Amino acid sequence: MMLFFTKNVMTKNLIFNNFKFSNFHWLIVYSIFLLTVKLLLLPYVQANNSDGICRVYLSLKMADSFFLIKSYNWPPLFFYLMGAALKIYHNPFITPLIVNIMLSIIMLFPLYFLMKRLFNDYTALLLCIIFSLSPIVFQLSLLSMSEIPSVFFIVLSASLLAKGLIDKSNVYIILAGLIFSIAGGFRYDSWFIAPLVAIIIAYRFSFKEALLFFIPALLFPIYWLLSNYFTTGNMFASFTWAVDATRTNKIDSFDAFLRRTWWFPLSLIFAFGPIGFYSFIKEIYKLIKNRNYHKTSFLFFILFVIVYLIFTINCYRGSLLMQHRFTLTLYLLSFPFLGYYFKNKVKNKFKMMLLFSISAFFLAFVYSSKGARPIPRLHNKEASIIADIIHKNISSDSGLLVDFIDWETSYYVPFMSELSQDNCLIIDQNSNMEFLKKDIEFLFINHSEGCILYYNKGKLVNESSIQGNTLTFNKINVQIKISTLYNHKGVIVYKYHL
């Protein structure tokens, strides 16, 4: 018995001593830790982005009854993905966040192998930690937006492409193109990045390999353009919003021009953190000073500059809003330059990684710029109070009429009410009241009780009148009995019934 025990211990010690805890194993440990942290943060996350809420509403319709999206402002794959997830677990707030959290964690593994091929395994591990703790990356993983799925497929594609080009494997190159095409089904960024990558492949490797990547990468864009054409008669119907945006979001002052000029550099400072951004600029300066410093890094630089110019031009035109989420693609393209910094810096790499990550993450809580903080929270704290009051005073059959206050509040309140989208009506700043009056009347007739969010600077002021406890709308043959639930600084919540 003693002999058996001794042999067993010796065997375990032998296995333990022979096991080497590699950098990849440390990445697994870190990923589990990061996943745990993000899941624990969910109770503190608030849906502060109106675009994200709109995406969830369409995903809910997809979950209730699948349908093919043939033409839309946004590419359709996000709604298919989230619709499927909501079909499994029908929680409009939690489910999309869990999907994006999981993708943000899984993304670290193709990113690791990509950086390992470019640099080494230890540098790859450090870069994955820095990337995951970037305030903008961290925040977007806690929002129901399409940036994380899009970047996930871009990173996966880039990792497979690097393997295919280095190992001379056409299968991996074709697979990389197909996955890049999937990224285009989430966001349009990859549409103009694909030809740029193909040009670089043709220059650095061969024309054949460029085609092997580019042709599969075109599959979704071609499908979407044809789908738009057969549905609407206009191949570019999904981009009409960009034309409208340039009309309504023009540069109207020199101050506005300056703000759009420095927006992306400022947003990149937030993404990198001040110290990381300084190191990024330092590597760029070194590259410009000596273009033979590293040929691959120069190609990365060219790609980054072209995409940066495209983003900036669209920002000037007004078709790209000044929001930090749009910087994620730029941050990803500029990120390898931190790899060159760590590759060349011999001493204290781990300490520098901690300095980059911690300074970027925690300084983001100091910035006054909206949307730069790692944990999504409401800018208007009043919205949470209003949402709680409304939620406590409605049932599943209630109606909710929301006068536009701001984008954050006006979409957060109905979303957190947990009412169906059909039960809610938002009168936004561009709403045509003549068309909306029928919708308002329809809402009240079909939902005889509910709540009204009224704003004294909104549209309802000129379209309704209040006498005692009766609310009357102009040209709408409905009289509504109201009682006040909340009144603060011109924002009033009424409980109504017919």
* Residue 488, CA atoms < 13 Å, CB-side half-sphere: 8
Between the ranges 3-12, 293-302, 357-366, 434-443, where is the mean pLDDT highest? 357-366
Between the ranges 141-155, 418-432, 476-490, where is the mean pLDDT highest? 141-155
Residues 71, 237 contacting (CB under 8 angstroms) = yes
How does residue 246 score in pLDDT terms, banded at 50, 70 and 90?
low
Residues 153, 176 contacting (CB under 8 angstroms) = no
How does residue 346 score in pLDDT terms, banded at 50, 70 and 90?
low
pLDDT for res 139: 95
Q: Mean pLDDT throughout 62-83?
A: 94
pLDDT for res 227: 96
**Residue in 441, 450, 446 with CA at minimum distance from that of residue 496:** 450
Tell me the per-residue pLDDT of 130-161, one tens digit each, with 9 for 90 and over. Answer: 999 999 999 999 999 999 999 999 999 999 99
Q: Mean pLDDT throughout 56-74?
A: 93
Residues 139, 48 contacting (CB under 8 angstroms) = no
Query: What pairing do the DSSP bridges indicate for beta strands 491-497 and 470-473?
Result: unpaired
Q: Look at residue 16 and tell me whether its pLDDT is greater than 50.
A: no
Domain boundaries, the chain: 23-363, 382-497
pLDDT for res 3: 44
How does residue 18 score in pLDDT terms, banded at 50, 70 and 90?
low
How does residue 119 score in pLDDT terms, banded at 50, 70 and 90?
very high
Q: For 273-405, where are the alpha helices, taking DSSP H only?
A: 274-289, 295-317, 328-334, 336-344, 349-363, 382-392
Residues 304, 323 contacting (CB under 8 angstroms) = no
Between 142 and 380, where is the model more confident? 142
pLDDT for res 462: 82
For residue 154, what are the CA distances in angstroms to 78, 139, 330, 335?
Answer: 15, 19, 12, 13
pLDDT for res 6: 45
Q: Look at residue 19 and tell me whether its pLDDT is greater than 80.
A: no
pLDDT for res 243: 66
